[in-house]
Amino acid sequence: MTLSDAAKLLAQARHVVVFTGAGISAESGVPTFRDALTGLWSRFDAQSLATPQAFQEDPDLVWGWYEWRRRLVQQVRPHHGHLAVARMAAWAPQLTVITQNVDDLHERAGSDAPVHLHGSLFAPRCVSCLHPAPLPETVEQPGEGSRIPPPRCTLCGDLVRPGVVWFGEQLPEEALFAAAQAASRCDLLLTVGTSGLVYPAAEIPRLAARSGAAVIQVNPQATPLDPITAANLRGAAAEILPALVSAAWG
Ligand code: APR
């Protein structure tokens, strides 16, 4: 199926789901999870930075890593692919954006309340009472490998933690329910920049296909999602998505 065929499907769709992964952010310059474990952070592995135990044992190190990542995100911008996703809201009768990414690039591109399956770098909360915490004033970019003491909860005084899903933690129930509901009801799911390997998030495009939706993939590489797609648009999100939206809606 060509891009223009895929655009026809998109233009006719009643409920579109856009499901994104690290690839759409990588093109803006946001390091993927694995890239973020390079440089001075390379002496750590994910288990020693992205688990509740790691935070309990060394909160300053873990908070420092997430602050380093958050400030990197603040230095980059959404690209034309993010903007194309935001534009879809004006054309598709119903649009649900679901992302595995913890950055705020969809929001900054204008997408309204994307569903964050893995949480967000921009939603810190108290480790005990879960009270949402304000984002620290970002003054300068912390150095790689820097330890930063996390703020304290204004309600109970315990430590504030990053608002992301760590290894061994459940995905936020509300987000997972909203994502599954959209996937099972949509008639087209656009999967962009994800390897489709990490569950339960990776179940979302498969649920859409099982529920009868057409799945269109945007990715420069082949992925395990290839067999369930109606169209595989090989290429970069920043190039394919604007072309798809223009072909669909002019
Ligand atoms: N446009 C579209 N896709 C791209 C681009 C691009 N410019 N650049 C890379 N990709 C694709 C890669 O080919 C790859 O298939 O993006 C995908 C990124 O895959 P992963 O790094 O596995 O990211 P993701 O699928 O989002 O991983 C899911 O795993 O690392 C954890 O919690 C983290 O949310 C993440 C989860």
The residue segments making up the domain with residue 45 are: 31-75+125-161
- 25-59 pLDDT, tens digit each: 999 999 887 777 777 677 788 778 999 999 999 99
pLDDT at 138: 67
Q: What is the CATH number of the domain that holds 56?
A: 3.30.1600.10
Least confident of 47-51, 83-87, 167-171, 207-211: 47-51
Considering the domain architecture, whether residues 112 and 204 belong to the same structural domain is answered as yes
CB 15 within 8 A of CB 182: yes
Q: How many CB atoms lie within 10 A of CB 91?
A: 15
Asked if the model's pLDDT at residue 71 lies above 70, the reply is: yes
- Ligand 1 shell residues, CB under 6 Å: 21-24, 26-27, 32-33, 100, 118, 192-195, 197-198, 218-221, 223, 236-237
Considering the domain architecture, whether residues 130 and 214 belong to the same structural domain is answered as no
| pTM, entire model | 0.96
Q: What is the CATH number of the domain that holds 180?
A: 3.40.50.1220
CA distances from 39 to 35, 68, 144, 183, 241 (A): 9, 12, 7, 38, 32
Structure tokens at 141: 């970019």
pLDDT at 137: 81
Q: What is the mean pLDDT of the chain?
A: 94
Q: 23 alpha carbon to ligand 1 midpoint, in Å?
A: 4
Q: Token pair 């994307």 is at which residue?
A: 114
Considering the domain architecture, whether residues 147 and 175 belong to the same structural domain is answered as no
Beta strands in the chain, from DSSP E residues, in sequence order:
15-20, 94-99, 115-116, 119-126, 160-164, 188-192, 214-218, 231-233
- How many domains does the chain fold into? 2
The residue contributing the CA closest to ligand 1 atom 8 is 23
